[in-house]
Amino acid sequence: MQYISTRGKAPRLDFDDVVLSGLARDGGLYVPDTWPTLTPDALASLAGASYPQLAATVLAPFAAPSVDEETLLAIAEDAYRDFDHPDIAPLRPLSDGIWLLELFHGPTLAFKDYALQVLGRLFDHILKRRNQRITIVGATSGDTGSAAIEACRDRDAIEIFILHPKGRVSEVQRRQMTTVTSANVHNIAVEGTFDDCQDLVKAMFADEAFRDAYRLSAVNSINWARIAAQVAYYVHAFVSLGRMGRAVSFAVPTGNFGNVYAAYVAGRMGVNLHRLIVASNRNDILTRFLATGRMEIGPVHATLSPSMDIQVSSNFERYYFEMVGRDADAVASAMQRFRQTGSFSATAPALTWALAQLSGERLTDDETRDTLRSLYDETGELFDPHTAIGIAAARRHRSEDDRPVIALATAHPAKFPDAVEAATGVRPELPPRLADLFDRPERCTALPAQLDRIQAHIRASIASFEDESAIT
């Protein structure tokens, strides 16, 4: 598979290089130049496959010829070995016509483990073959960071620096990052918002001398391999539902749009999609875009669902590329306008194309609390606030459409215990693997949201890196 940039001015790359480089040099995002498909028979035959087998089958066409299916299977088996549910991503009925896809059975209790456990091993595999080392730099609004750190900790070929907005992630999220004291793990608490963190990471990638000297790479949701690994659970959910000929909708609690975009890719590969419900919190830039065709940045609001407290959904650019019929110049000029003025508008045909597939829903914190409480009253179960937003969006949608909706449970309730307890009166317990989280020592460096300060810290932390990689 060859990959092209959404902005059309970066070299085509193969899978290995796309995995290692993350963002394209022209500021765009890499996408496959053609869509591989699974025939209905191939999809049906996946119904009996183990989750790692299914994941290897889904990843294979994206990784060919760089990484073969046998290697992908070994990577997937290892990646999902420690998940705490035998189905890895269990699908179960929730209430009338609504199904829940549980994606919190990995080491950090959020769906990002499903892709990152694979990505960490893919990096290792590719780097070992090339005898190289890399520096992973990422921004997190909470969950990506811990999932990335868990995926990369103690891997010889990787140094990892994760920027999180100081004081704006939950204590559990922070501790899941800062209590990993492996020598190759570096946590930075940035005095700013998640968007500041994301801008700093983008600026480091834009600094070519720095990027090349430290072989910067990304594991945030712009990395293609993450998207590809996420496609697997959509395929898994679709075949598990066992209604091959019939279309299904997904309700996705959305921040950076990576998860919704992976659902779109699953559709391109052959999953029979009806609608994708883009569920947002008060940070409703996507809801407003779908209502008006105008993408307009606003202030970031802190909510009960902090992993969705995002205004600029970076993966949306990949979807926009499809909205405009893969016209890279149109993407580049829209993104430039967005960067300069804080807004851009889709053309009427592009918006019509998107609305044929996407529905936007938005929940306030009050509505999220009400949902958590009523779900607890109805089912006796606790959900996390992000998941509750997806379920509420699925319910609104079901009131107009009787096809099945699969809502994504993107985190375990114990990851957001304060919000869950405030809404339901019940404090969710951490699962056994994290029971002693509050007793573990933390390690973290606080820095202002200034590019030069962050870069100086990275240089100082890996002073010997350039010499070493020069030898290999």
Ligand X SMILES: *Cc1c(COP(=O)(O)O)cnc(C)c1O
Catalytic positions are: 112
- Least separation in angstroms between residue 286's CB and ligand X is 9
Draw the binding track, 279-318, toward ligand X (x: CB under 6 A; -: no contact): ----------------------------xx----------
Distance CA 250, CA 361 (A): 12
Q: Identify the residue among 411, 414, 419, 454 touching ligand X (CB under 6 A).
A: 411
Instruction: Decide: is 362 part of the binding site for ligand X (CB under 6 A).
Output: no
Nearest Cα to Cα of residue 277 among 250, 257, 303: 250
Stretch that binds ligand X, among 153-161, 179-187, 248-256, 292-300 (CB under 6 A): 248-256
Q: Identify the residue among 21, 259, 281, 283 touching ligand X (CB under 6 A).
A: 259
Written as one string, the DSSP assignment of 433-454 is GGTTGGGS----EEEES-HHHH
- Least separation in angstroms between residue 97's CB and ligand X is 22
Nearest Cα to Cα of residue 100 among 295, 325, 375: 375
- Encoded tokens for 111: 């769906």
Kindly state the helix (H) or strand (E) to which residue 191 belongs, with its residue range.
Answer: strand 185-191
Tell me the torsion sign for CA atoms 274, 144, 288, 418: positive
The helix/strand/coil state of 406 is: strand
Closer residue to ligand X in complex, CB, 310/328: 310
Instruction: Decide: is 220 part of the binding site for ligand X (CB under 6 A).
Output: no
**What are the angstrom distances between the C-alpha of 32 and each of 6, 61, 230, 238, 328?**
10, 10, 15, 22, 13
Phi, psi of 238 (to 5 degrees): -60, -45
How many of the chain's residues bind ligand X (CB under 6 A)?
Answer: 16
- CB 164 within 8 Å of CB 134: no
- Least separation in angstroms between residue 421's CB and ligand X is 17
Q: Return the ∠ at Cα 369 (arms to 365 and 370), rounded to 5°.
A: 115
| Amino acid (1-letter code) at residue 271 | V
Instruction: Decide: is 223 part of the binding site for ligand X (CB under 6 A).
Output: no
Closer residue to ligand X in complex, CB, 135/410: 410
Stretch that binds ligand X, among 122-130, 155-163, 257-265, 343-351 (CB under 6 A): 257-265
Distance CA 409, CA 176 (A): 19
Q: Identify the residue among 166, 175, 186, 386 touching ligand X (CB under 6 A).
A: 386
Q: Identify the residue among 102, 113, 143, 284 touching ligand X (CB under 6 A).
A: 143
Distance CA 140, CA 163 (A): 6
Instruction: Decide: is 410 part of the binding site for ligand X (CB under 6 A).
Output: yes
Instruction: Decide: is 103 part of the binding site for ligand X (CB under 6 A).
Output: no
Closer residue to ligand X in complex, CB, 66/303: 303
- Least separation in angstroms between residue 419's CB and ligand X is 12
Give the HSE-up count for residue 426: Cα atoms under 13 Å, Cβ half-sphere. Answer: 16
- Least separation in angstroms between residue 77's CB and ligand X is 24
Distance CA 451, CA 468 (A): 25
Instruction: Decide: is 110 part of the binding site for ligand X (CB under 6 A).
Output: yes
Largest CA distance in the chain: 63
- Least separation in angstroms between residue 7's CB and ligand X is 21
Closer residue to ligand X in complex, CB, 43/408: 408
Binding site for ligand X (CB under 6 A): 110, 112, 143, 221, 253-259, 307-308, 386, 410-411
